[in-house]
């Protein structure tokens, strides 16, 4: 069913409301039967317009809803009409609708067409007894689309079908840990679909000149951010959904992990830290992965005393070396965990539809899930973590949060479909806010895998289970750049891949990429990632790029402040910094680290790389060579080098890098 005719237009003090009828209305008899869809337009911020499409307005919106800062309306909004059109204008962005005749919605920037909801774009659909509401926004010829979370396929989303549904799928498929129903386009505007559950996107695929998005139910709510540049649209989006907190300075150093299934004790840990230090590769954070707890009890939040008999003393000895400590956790409680009975008795674990504790033999036998909609459950969970902070722990790796079932009941009555993606927001907020309370402002940091809209407020995130191959290295970068174009400022990945063990060649190439990322971690599943385990040259390479990152810290911290203040990622797709250059729009094997430093990692054993320098004067950070862009370049590099260029015309950013260059 489509709204075909505009039959009512109302101008309210803070809203424009338009009603569409599902067939032409030429006489009184035409108003019998049929269906209507109502569009309500408001503006929470300048250059931002909210669109609420409704069929059956008597239905209450279920919980949860995104935590958006849209409580106040935009005082400068202008609402008006003439004989042909009605409009709502918010800064340079406006929406225009006909006052009668055929239904359509036109969005304009500075009174120039930006995108439109054309006839038959809005539709009410039914399939297998389920109702859906759909919108389609037009794409201009050549317009490219980005974002939608951390996605590992091509950076440009045109031609893709994307399901906003968090799943644990690794980095080599269309499944994603971090789904965000927000997209950005090369024309400098963004769109957020304000629905925390499943959103289905067809980006120039179902209809090749439109972006289609649909949700289950009788209402569809979205925001349009007018830009006029991708950076401006990101700034507007994160003003609404939240800006990243500023991570502590120490988090930008090198993280070393016990890795997943490897054997560790205090002697081994201290020996590795000391050897790294002796080799000139200082460790900022040491991470204990899963087996700091006893097997089959995850999570118990109790140290496995067989391997760590004096955890408090061990933590002190590590921290005396100037190294922070991170512990792996997740939101699941195994049946064998001492916390299972406690959580079940108090009603802190998710219930199935019959009222029993929901359990499944999945990651851990008989595991249950903490119900983070229950305030007392959040306090209980945070209390277990506080005991670890009191012991000397500094941060938590908040793993998982994607395997969230549908056949469950939440304490606060939340809808299970809407909670599937939103669960990670409540989980990571619980942990992050504990760290802020206990460690103080500016000292809180998590290392999270799952995310949704708003999760950027709780940095940082890493790219999940990649593999030790060049193909996975490339898909990892694509995921990070897509993630950054979805409102997230800080991102990391497992250097040389999590699954398997890299060749010495891959390890050295990935070390350069990893230490020229926002955050840097050595971690694997079945083998450790110290450089001497690969070859002697790997030590030299890791040392070189660790020192390089340390030297770049003043610049990186300034880029971090931009992320915190404006919502711009530290690692930026080329289109974000050079939106007017058509050549930059499809580039996903190079990136800008901050506003002025171009990085082109090497993705092959031959050391060959093809990359693009946009317009401007560039200086090679490692050699001092200067060139003027635009230019395509093809080069071959050794392990202590890669294309690393500073844009000399980027003002303060260039000044920050000048001493090194």
For residue 541 the two structure tokens come to 């390479």
Least confident of 126-130, 185-189, 426-430: 126-130
Structure confidence by residue, pLDDT tens digits, 498-519: 999 999 999 999 999 999 999 9
Per this entry, what is the length of the chain? 661
Beta-strand pair 254-257/219-225: unpaired
Query: Which residues, in sequence order, are CB contacts of 441 under 8 Å at separation 6+?
Result: none
Nearest Cα residue to 284 out of 308, 319, 317: 319
How far apart are alpha carbons 189 and 450 in whole angstroms? 26
Residue 351 pLDDT more than 80? yes
Angle between helices 266-278 and 311-319 (to 10 degrees): 0
Indicate the average pLDDT of the chain.
96
pLDDT at 71 over 90: no
CATH of domain 5-241: 2.60.40.1760
Catalytic residue among 47, 399, 577, 588: 399
How far from chain centre, in Å, is Cα 57? 32
Q: Which fold has domain 566-658?
A: Immunoglobulin-like (2.60.40)
Angle of the 553-566 helix axis to the 536-551 helix axis, nearest 10: 60
CA angle 102, 87, 50 (to 5 degrees): 95
- The Cα 285–Cα 395 span in angstroms is 9
Whole-angstrom distance, CA of residue 469 vs CA of residue 473: 6
For the chain, give percent helix, strand, coil, nearest 5. Answer: 25, 30, 45
Tell how strand 597-599 and strand 571-572 pair up: unpaired
What pLDDT does 611 receive?
A: 98
**Predicted local distance difference test score (pLDDT) of residue 598:** 98
Cα separation, 223 vs 27, in Å, equals 35
Q: What is the mean pLDDT of residues 18-25?
A: 93
Give the separation between CA 540 and CA 508, rounded to whole angstroms.
9
Q: Which CATH number fits domain 253-334+372-564: 3.40.250.10, 3.20.20.80, 3.30.710.10, 3.30.460.10?
A: 3.20.20.80
Tell me whether the CATH fold assigned to 5-241 matches the one assigned to 566-658: yes
CB 210 within 8 A of CB 121: yes
> Lowest-confidence range among 75-84, 102-111, 409-418, 593-602?
75-84
Q: Active site residue: 47, 221, 289, 402, which one?
A: 402
- Which residue among the candidates 465, 494, 505, 562 is catalytic per the annotation? 465
Is 399 tagged catalytic? yes
List the beta bridge partners of residue 374.
Answer: none
Q: Is 106 a catalytic residue?
A: no
Shortest CA distance to 616 belongs to which of 648, 572, 570? 648
Over the stretch 527-541, which tens digit does the pLDDT of each residue have? 999 999 999 999 999
Predicted confidence band at 5 (pLDDT cuts at 50, 70, 90)? very high
Q: Tell me how far apart the alpha carbons of residues 424 and 432 are, in angstroms, rounded to a whole number.
A: 12
CB 215 within 8 A of CB 197: yes
Give the pairing of strands 48-54 and 219-225.
Answer: antiparallel
User: What CA–CA distance (Å, rounded) separates 37 from 282?
Assistant: 61
Q: Where are the domains of the chain?
A: 5-241, 253-334+372-564, 566-658
Q: What is the mean pLDDT of residues 300-324?
A: 97
């Amino acid at each position: 069913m489509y709204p075909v005719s505009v039959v009512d237009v109302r101008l309210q003090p803070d809203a424009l409301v338009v009603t569409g009828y599902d067939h032409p209305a030429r006489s009184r008899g035409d108003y019998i039967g049929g269906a209507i869809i109502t569009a309500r337009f408001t503006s929470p911020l300048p250059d931002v317009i909210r669109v609420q499409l409704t069929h059956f307005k008597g239905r209450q919106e279920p919980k949860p809803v995104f935590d958006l800062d849209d409580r106040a309306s935009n005082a400068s909004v202008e609402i008006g009409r003439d004989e042909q059109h009605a409009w709502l204008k918010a800064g340079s962005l406006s929406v225009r609708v006909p006052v009668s005749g055929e239904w359509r919605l036109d969005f304009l920037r500075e009174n120039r067409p930006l995108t439109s909801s054309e006839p038959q774009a809005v539709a009410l659909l039914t399939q297998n007894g389920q109702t859906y509401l759909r919108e389609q926004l037009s794409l201009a010829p050549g317009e490219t689309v980005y974002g939608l979370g951390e996605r590992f396929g091509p950076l440009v989303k045109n031609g893709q079908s994307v399901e906003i549904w968090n799943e644990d799928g690794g980095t080599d498929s269309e499944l994603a840990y971090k789904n965000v129903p927000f997209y950005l386009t090369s024309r400098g505007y963004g769109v957020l679909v304000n629905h925390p559950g499943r959103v289905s996107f067809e980006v120039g695929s179902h209809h090749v000149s439109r972006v289609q998005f649909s949700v289950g139910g009788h209402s569809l709510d979205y925001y349009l951010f007018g830009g006029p540049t991708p950076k401006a649209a990101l700034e507007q989006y994160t003003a609404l959904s939240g800006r990243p907190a500023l991570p502590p300075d120490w988090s930008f150093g090198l993280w070393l992990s016990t890795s997943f299934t490897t054997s560790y004790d205090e002697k081994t840990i201290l020996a590795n830290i000391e050897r790294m230090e002796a080799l000139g590769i200082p460790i900022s954070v040491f991470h204990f992965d899963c087996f700091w707890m006893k097997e089959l009890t995850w999570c118990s939040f109790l140290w496995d005393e067989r391997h760590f008999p004096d955890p408090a003393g061990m933590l002190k000895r590590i921290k005396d070396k100037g190294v922070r400590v991170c512990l792996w956790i997740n939101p699941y409680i195994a049946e064998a965990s001492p916390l299972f009975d406690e959580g079940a008795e108090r009603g802190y674990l998710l219930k199935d539809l019959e009222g029993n504790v929901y359990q499944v033999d999945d990651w851990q036998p008989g595991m249950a899930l903490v119900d983070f909609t229950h305030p007392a459950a959040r306090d209980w969970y945070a209390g277990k973590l506080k005991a670890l902070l009191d012991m000397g722990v500094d941060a938590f790796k908040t793993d998982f949060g994607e395997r969230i079932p549908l056949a469950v009941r939440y304490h606060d009555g939340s809808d299970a479909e809407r909670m599937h993606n939103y669960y990670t927001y409540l989980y990571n907020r619980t942990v992050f806010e504990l760290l802020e309370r206990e460690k103080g402002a500016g000292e809180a940091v998590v290392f999270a895998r799952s995310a949704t809209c708003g999760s950027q407020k709780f940095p940082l995130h890493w790219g999940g289970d990649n593999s030790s191959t060049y193909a996975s290295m490339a898909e990892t970068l694509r995921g990070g750049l897509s993630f950054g174009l979805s409102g997230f400022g800080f991102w990391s990945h497992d250097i040389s891949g999590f699954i398997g063990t890299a060749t010495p060649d891959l390890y050295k190439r990935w070390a350069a990429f990893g230490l020229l990322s926002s955050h840097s971690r050595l971690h694997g599943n079945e083998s450790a990632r110290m450089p001497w385990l690969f070859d002697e040259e790997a030590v030299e390479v890791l040392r070189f790029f660790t020192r390089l990152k340390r030297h770049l810290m003043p610049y990186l911290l300034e880029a971090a402040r931009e992320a915190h203040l404006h919502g711009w990622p530290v690692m930026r797709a080329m289109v974000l910094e050079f939106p007017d250059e058509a050549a930059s729009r499809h580039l996903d094997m190079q990136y800008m680290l901050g506003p002025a430093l171009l990085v082109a990692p090497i993705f092959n054993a031959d050391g060959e790389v093809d990359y693009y320098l946009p317009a401007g004067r560039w200086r090679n950070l490692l050699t001092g060579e200067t060139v003027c862009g635009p230019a395509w370049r093809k080069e071959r590099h050794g392990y202590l080098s890669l294309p690393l260029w500073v844009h000399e015309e980027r003002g303060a950013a260039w000044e920050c890098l000048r001493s090194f260059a």
